[in-house]
Structure 1
Amino acid sequence: MDLTHNHGPQTRVTRPLKVALVGECMIEMRGEPGAVIIQTFGGDTLNTAVYLARLNPRGAVAVDYMTAVGNDAFSVAMRRSWLDEGIGDAHVRVIEDALPGLYFIQTDPHGERRFLYWRGEAAARRMFEGPEADAMLEALADYDYAYLSGISLAILTPAGRQRLIEALHRARRAGTRIVFDNNYRPHLWPDSETARQAYRDLLHLTDLALVTWEDDAALFGYRDPEALFSAYAQAEVGEVALKRGAASCLIQCPTGRFDVPAQTVSHVVDTTAAGDSFSAAYLACRLRGGDPEQAARWGHRLAAQVVQYRGALIPQAAMPNMGASSLPSVAQV
């Protein structure tokens, strides 16, 4: 898998590829106020981690989640749920006086969702603060890929965000490739300029960008996809997959520009995690040697299935057949 920035010759390996996803898992609740509430767990990078783990043979790709939690019953249960999905938690920091964040999903008749958040004092906000975070930050250089999102950046304290960027610089010099999903949430940032600067800092390290068009248009004011692709090329991002909801995905990469149609869904139930699942499937296909066009088709296929279920994570039995038999049997580093 060549994501433009060449860290050396491409070689096949027999050990699993190691992928670290950095972010926040929250308590997810959905239903109607005053009625029965269903409680699960979710969060953009956690959703991606789950789908990535499901789509890759466990002997080929090792998926770890990097975050901070409390020592309460919800934190214990969420970590158990990750392990059940085959996600490692060796680099999860426990902050004893903190709790996980929480969000409530409300959906309209068309499946569009609205979130209510309680996350200001969440443990994940402090994950990279203090000397206790040193080992987590240095561990990033041990991974083949590090994945994070705009939300991963937004939830951190300014000091923690700076430490993460510095650690990603070190990791990338050591050969780690960086994957970034832009997920821009204005209410998580003190102002838009702070967000823009953080994104610019990270984009100069990014090998693969998984971009939601509406989010980048809102943050940077791009008039059209061409302006976005031009800006990402100037930042030397080698591969960009531009997600446009129910419209086609546009890809810019060293082999050209591609337009990959989305799959039609007759009845959308809940769009929660549509972008997260697309990103997971895209990356899973690329890790297994698929090309960008194949990866976008995987992304559309999984996202189309996810939006037909309530909540971020669909049942394991509902996972679609991705047609992996046509891909190389060994992932590439």
Structure 2
Amino acid sequence: MRVLAIGECMAELAPAAEPDDYHLGFAGDTFNTAWYLARLRPDMDVSFFTAVGTDPLSYQMREAFATSGIDSSYVLSVPDSTVGLYMISLENGERSFSYWRGQSAARQLATNPQLLARAMTEVDLIYFSGITLAILDVTSREILLDALRVARASGKVIAFDPNLRPRLWSGTSEMTATIMQGATVSDIALPSYEDEAEWFGDDDPIATVDRYASAGATTIVVKNGADAVHFRHGDMSGVMPVPPLNHVIDTTAAGDSFNAGILAGIAENAPLNDSITLACRLAGAVVQGKGALVPIDPTLFDAVSVKGNENA
């Protein structure tokens, strides 16, 4: 299966071993998921659709895509532009983030509708997020949603993580309305209950499942931190416990890696229970490392039974 992730990748400045030293890396929600997919399934064709600048930092980002095994043939170059940047600060073991993304070329990723449409025709599964929508202006947002709508109608599988980030939106009403627009073009919804409860007022994860099902998603998997995962796939619904962890170091990419596990299983037509098991194992391994991109053991994929079980 060929997978296309759409969104923003940013330059990351993370504290290094020496005080006042920082390590340069690259991360971003949909990119993180693509990265873990490529690590988990090296035989899978994973592409990333974004826009970068023409400066040295943008070229370094392109090199990072290549060394990660992620196809960058759909990456746009925006002249006289650069990429977004964030810096991680540590104080008494607590992480805080400072962002500089107003100049990010990724805000222009939907300015070439023809390339966007062509990219979608050449893959099987398309993944985007609420952050993907949030960074775009209204016109670009509509271009992306229209392209996703057409792709879904043609038989492509669309996966969506709402990834609610209020600071990226002009207001709560714009955020919630646009997120539900994203849900209406999606087959798979991967929300996080904590965010959904805060911004949509969901009383429990079942309410979150019901809302995304009503929007048109046929597979919904609700993440809830260390608490149980609620899911629905067609007429089947259920709850799966999350294995306890003794030591959590960094939860930065917990949700992104979880999504990669779900998509890896779905790409193999595996039972959804197996995909959730894989997602929990992967996220569990990631939060016991440091940073967004943590080396993983591909044998985690052994959790998946590739049998094409149509009842899953």
| Residue 237 (structure 1) aligns with | 217
Q: Could you say which residue in structure 1 is the equivalent of 2:300?
A: 322
CA contact (8 A) 1:113 1:272 kept: no
Answer yes or no: is the 8 Å Cα contact 1:282–1:295 preserved in 2.
Answer: yes
- Match of 1:45, SS state, is helix
The separation in 1 between residues aligned to 2:298 and 2:40, in whole angstroms, is 10
Residues 156 and 255 of structure 1, relative CA distance in 2, 3 Å threshold:
same
Report the Cα distance in structure 1 between the residues aligned to 2:308 and 2:10, rounded to whole angstroms: 34
Which of 127, 145, 149 is the aligned partner of 2:109?
127
**After TM superposition, what 4+ stretches of structure 1 lie above 3 angstroms from structure 2?**
106-110, 329-332
Equivalent residue number for residue 44 of structure 1:
29
Deviation per residue, 1:83-121 (Å, 9 max, x gap): 1121101110000111100112245667x6432211011
| TM-score where L is the length of structure 2 | 0.92
Aligned equivalents of 1:326, 1:228: Cα separation in 2: 26
Matches of 1:257 and 1:174, distance apart in 2: 27
Contact 1:68–1:92, Cα closer than 8 Å, also in 2: yes
Identify which of 201, 215, 232 aligns with 1:252: 232
Q: In the TM superposition, what whole-angstrom CA distance separates every residue of 1:137-176 from its partner, at most 9, and x where no partner exists?
A: 3422332111001101101111111110111111112111
The 2-side partners of 1:193 and 1:234 are apart by 19
Q: 1:24 corresponds to which residue?
A: 8
User: In the TM superposition, what is the alpha-carbon distance from 1:254 to its structure 2 partner?
Assistant: 2.0
Structure 1 unmatched ranges of 5 or more: 1-16
Q: How far apart are residue 189 of structure 1 and its match?
A: 0.3
Q: Residue deviations 1:36-90, cap 9 Å, x none? A: 11111100000000001111242xx211000000111111111111111211011
Instruction: Find the counterpart in structure 1 of residue 51 from structure 2.
Output: 68
Q: Which residue is 1:12 aligned to?
A: none
Once structures 1 and 2 are overlaid, which stretch shifts more, 175-184 or 134-143? 134-143
SS in 2 for 1:310: coil
Taking only the aligned residue pairs, the percentage that are identical comes to: 37
Instruction: State the AA in 2 paired with 1:82.
Output: F
Q: Whole-Å Cα distance in 2 between the matches of residues 325 and 294 of structure 1?
A: 6
- Equivalent position SS for 1:105: strand
Deviations 1:163-201 (Å, cap 9, x if unpaired)? 101111111121111100111100000011111221121
1:205-224 equivalences in 2 (<5 Å): 205-224=185-204
In the TM superposition, 1:1-333 aligns within 5 A as 17-31=1-15, 35-58=20-43, 61-106=44-89, 113-129=95-111, 132-315=112-295, 318-319=296-297, 321-324=299-302, 327-328=305-306
| Root mean square deviation, CA, Å | 2.2
SS of the equivalent of 2:87 reads strand
| CA contact 2:30–2:256 (8 Å) conserved in 1 | yes
Question: Are the equivalent residues in 1 in contact too, given 2:35–2:70 (CA < 8 A)?
Answer: yes
Partner Cα distance (2:50, 2:195) in 1: 24
Shift, 1:306, TM fit? 0.7
Q: Distance in 1 between matches of 2:222 and 2:303?
A: 26
TM-superposed CA distance for 1:321, in Å, is 2.6
Deviations 1:178-225 (A, max 9, x none): 100111100000011111221121211111111111122222111212
Partner-residue secondary structure (3-state), 1:88: coil
> 5+ residue gaps in structure 2?
none
Q: C-alpha distance in 2, partners of 1:126/1:29?
A: 23
Change (3 A) 1:108 1:52: farther
Moved more, 216-225 or 96-105: 216-225
